[in-house]
């Protein structure tokens, strides 16, 4: 069985603060893929990053960074110097070659960045 | 420019009255998906098409059907909507399987009255 846990339901920060969104996953597959999506109030899910299970290299993209650690089955997402436009629901998702085409989403973390 | 377009953005239907939601894509992707997302919940996959091959998730109710007449279009038909079917319905596409990123539309918010 596959499972994604985002323990933080809601986070509120003040602009310019750094914030980390946690994601813990469970899978028995050796080949799997982890994703982060952003869902702004407009509704569409916006792809942020994909990581496969063989690539534990951390990644930085502007103010966004991701820390993938297989030892703890975690794929955490950090926003540096948060901005009001970062306010959204963020979903972590897991897929694998044995799960067919289904992405298993976590329940999401709602991030509110206030001025 | 939007690459996955869903119409309408908001749909109100009566209890038990069939309703169809539409999705189109300009990406020429092989795979199209329909997800259901209820309030404050994670998106849940209903079914997907790989080209013309239809794949239903095991727990998708029979009340939900889908059609993909060509590469660009995919429809979600709800034969007899119940109050519990009120949700956001998200269409997505991907070039290939789960190892490729999925592009989502803005969703159709369905209200059942």
Nearest-5° angle of CA A50, CA B54, CA B59? 80
pLDDT attached to residue A85: 95
Residues 6+ apart with CB under 8 A from B67: B74, B75, B77
Confirm or reject contact between B97 and chain A (CB < 8 A).
yes
Residue of B nearest to A105 (CA): B42
pLDDT attached to residue A58: 85
Task: Confirm if A74 and A7 have CB atoms less than 8 A apart.
Answer: no
Confirm or reject contact between A43 and chain B (CB < 8 A).
yes
Provide mean pLDDT across the span B63-91.
Answer: 96
Nearest-5° angle of CA A55, CA A39, CA A74? 30
A45 neighbourhood in chain B, CB within 8 Å: 43, 90, 92, 102, 104
* Closest residue by Cα to residue B48 from B67, B69, B64, B31: B31
Return phi, psi of residue B84, to 5°.
-75, -5
Token representation of residue A42: 């407009």
Residue B100's CB is within 10 A of a number of other CB atoms, namely 16
pLDDT attached to residue A71: 93
Task: Confirm if B22 and B105 have CB atoms less than 8 A apart.
Answer: no
Taking the C-alpha atoms of residue A27 and residue A97, their distance in angstroms, rounded to an integer, is 11
Provide mean pLDDT across the span A42-67.
Answer: 90
pLDDT attached to residue A44: 86
Taking the C-alpha atoms of residue B77 and residue B69, their distance in angstroms, rounded to an integer, is 13
* Closest residue by Cα to residue B78 from B14, B9, B7, B30: B14
pLDDT attached to residue A57: 83
Confirm or reject contact between A37 and chain B (CB < 8 A).
yes
Kindly indicate the confidence band of residue A102, based on its pLDDT and cuts at 50, 70 and 90.
confident
Given a cut of 90, is residue A42 above it in pLDDT? no
Mean pLDDT value across chain A: 92
Taking the C-alpha atoms of residue A115 and residue B28, their distance in angstroms, rounded to an integer, is 41
Task: Confirm if A35 and B101 have CB atoms less than 8 A apart.
Answer: yes
Residue of B nearest to A32 (CA): B99
Task: Confirm if A76 and A65 have CB atoms less than 8 A apart.
Answer: no
pLDDT digits (tens, 9 = 90+) for B96-111: 877 778 899 999 999 9
Do A44 and B105 lie within an 8 Å CB cutoff? yes
Kindly indicate the confidence band of residue A36, based on its pLDDT and cuts at 50, 70 and 90.
very high
Token representation of residue A90: 């963020």
Do B42 and A107 lie within an 8 Å CB cutoff? yes
Do A100 and B55 lie within an 8 Å CB cutoff? yes
Provide mean pLDDT across the span B43-59.
Answer: 91
Do B57 and A52 lie within an 8 Å CB cutoff? no
Kindly indicate the confidence band of residue B27, based on its pLDDT and cuts at 50, 70 and 90.
very high
Do B99 and A97 lie within an 8 Å CB cutoff? yes
B107 neighbourhood in chain A, CB within 8 Å: 43-44
Token representation of residue B36: 């259901």
């Amino acid at each position: 069985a596959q499972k994604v846990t985002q323990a933080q339901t809601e986070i509120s920060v003040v602009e310019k603060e750094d914030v980390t969104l946690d994601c813990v996953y469970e899978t028995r597959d050796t080949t799997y893929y982890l994703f982060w999506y952003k869902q702004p109030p407009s509704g569409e899910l916006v792809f942020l990053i994909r990581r496969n299970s063989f690539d534990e290299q951390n990644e930085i993209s502007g103010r966004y960074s991701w820390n993938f650690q297989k030892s703890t089955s975690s794929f955490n997402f950090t926003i540096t110097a948060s901005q009001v436009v970062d306010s959204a629901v963020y979903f972590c998702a897991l897929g694998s070659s044995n799960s067919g085409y289904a992405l298993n989403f976590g329940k999401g973390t709602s991030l509110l960045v206030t001025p | 420019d939007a690459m996955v377009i869903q119409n309408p953005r908001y749909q109100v239907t009566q209890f038990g009255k069939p309703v169809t939601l539409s999705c189109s894509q300009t990406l020429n992707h092989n795979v199209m998906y329909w997800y259901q997302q209820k309030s404050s919940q994670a998106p849940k996959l209903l079914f997907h098409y790989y080209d013309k091959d239809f794949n239903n998730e095991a727990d998708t109710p029979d009340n939900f059907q889908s059609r993909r007449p060509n590469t660009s279009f995919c429809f979600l038909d709800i034969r007899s909507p119940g109050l519990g079917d009120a949700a956001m319905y998200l269409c997505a596409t991907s070039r290939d399987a789960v190892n490729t990123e999925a592009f989502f539309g803005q969703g159709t918010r369905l209200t059942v009255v």
